[in-house]
């Protein structure tokens, strides 16, 4: 979604999205690394918004990230208890936590 907001508003968008998370809530941002938003810049914006990176994947099916497009970056609110382990599918096949 951050690739579709007005340039320069990404920090405010992440801050507002973080404000809507429950204390153990999870924000998953998936976007192409095509030059519009550099990954290190996203990481700084997410940290400034109070998010903590949990894991990083290349695809929605959790293919390991290898420094290339695209990226899926699950983050949890930094004030929340840290998620244990990595994201794994739950019994219904949806991402859950271990």
Using the structure block, give the residue that is written with the tokens 């507002």.
16
Convert the pLDDT of each residue in 64-74 to its tens digit: 777 656 666 76
Domain range summary for the chain, segments of one domain joined by +: 8-79
Q: Check residue 67 and give its pLDDT.
A: 63
Convert the pLDDT of each residue in 16-46 to its tens digit: 998 888 877 888 888 777 778 888 888 999 9
Q: Find out whether 72 and 29 touch, Cβ atoms under 8 Å.
A: yes
Average pLDDT of the residues of the chain: 74
Cite the DSSP H helix spans in 1-98: 10-19, 39-48
Q: Check residue 45 and give its pLDDT.
A: 92
Which of the following CATH numbers is that of domain 8-79: 3.40.50.10710, 1.10.1040.10, 3.90.180.10, 3.40.50.150? Answer: 3.40.50.150
CB atoms within 10 A of CB 49: 21
């Amino acid at each position: 979604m951050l690739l579709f907001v007005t340039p320069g508003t990404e920090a405010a968008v992440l801050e507002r999205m973080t404000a809507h998370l429950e204390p153990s809530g999870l924000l998953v941002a998936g976007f192409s690394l095509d030059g519009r938003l550099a990954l290190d810049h996203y990481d700084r914006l997410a940290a400034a918004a109070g998010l903590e990176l949990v894991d990083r994947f290349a695809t929605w099916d959790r293919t390991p990230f290898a420094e290339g497009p695209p990226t899926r970056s699950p983050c949890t609110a930094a004030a929340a208890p840290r998620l244990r382990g990595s994201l794994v599918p739950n019994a219904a096949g949806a991402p859950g936590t271990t």
